């Protein structure tokens, strides 16, 4: 359940503070999952993989819906990035520079 409407498109250069906060929570969880260790990484993994309904506040699915992101596709992309060898990511980035 969102507390704002996505049909209310703000003018260019304005931000909805709630969306910025939710995006920061999502970004932190992804960072912790991909580069964290121990309990930090495990907590982020559990949160990302949890299958709670979208109306449960502050779950991965809720935040994705609030940010107009497909939670299933994002989850797959995050897990794929975690399982891909880091050396391949760095090599690919270096080649495109």
Encode 26-45: b = buried (16+ Cβ within 10 Å), e = exposed.
beebbebbeebeeeeeeebb
Give the chain's largest Cα–Cα span. Answer: 44
Residue 30 lies in a domain: yes
Give me the domain span that covers residue 50.
Answer: 17-96
Whether the Cβ atoms of residue 71 and residue 65 lie closer than 8 Å to each other: yes
Mean pLDDT by 10 residues, the chain (97 residues): 52 74 95 93 94 78 92 93 65 47
Quote the number of domains for the chain.
1
Task: Please give the model's pTM, rounded to 2 decimal places.
Answer: 0.70
Residue 82 lies in a domain: yes
Residue 6 lies in a domain: no
Instruction: For residue 45, give both structure tokens.
Output: 């993994």
Residue 9 lies in a domain: no
């Amino acid at each position: 359940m969102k507390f704002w409407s996505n049909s209310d498109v703000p003018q260019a250069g304005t931000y909805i503070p709630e969306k910025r906060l939710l995006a920061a929570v999502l970004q932190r969880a992804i960072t912790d999952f991909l580069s964290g260790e121990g309990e930090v990484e495990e907590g982020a993994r559990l949160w990302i993989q949890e299958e709670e309904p979208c109306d449960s506040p502050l779950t991965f699915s809720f935040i994705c819906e609030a940010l107009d992101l497909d939670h299933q596709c994002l989850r797959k992309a995050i897990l794929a990035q975690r399982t891909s060898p880091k050396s391949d990511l760095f090599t690919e980035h270096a080649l495109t520079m």
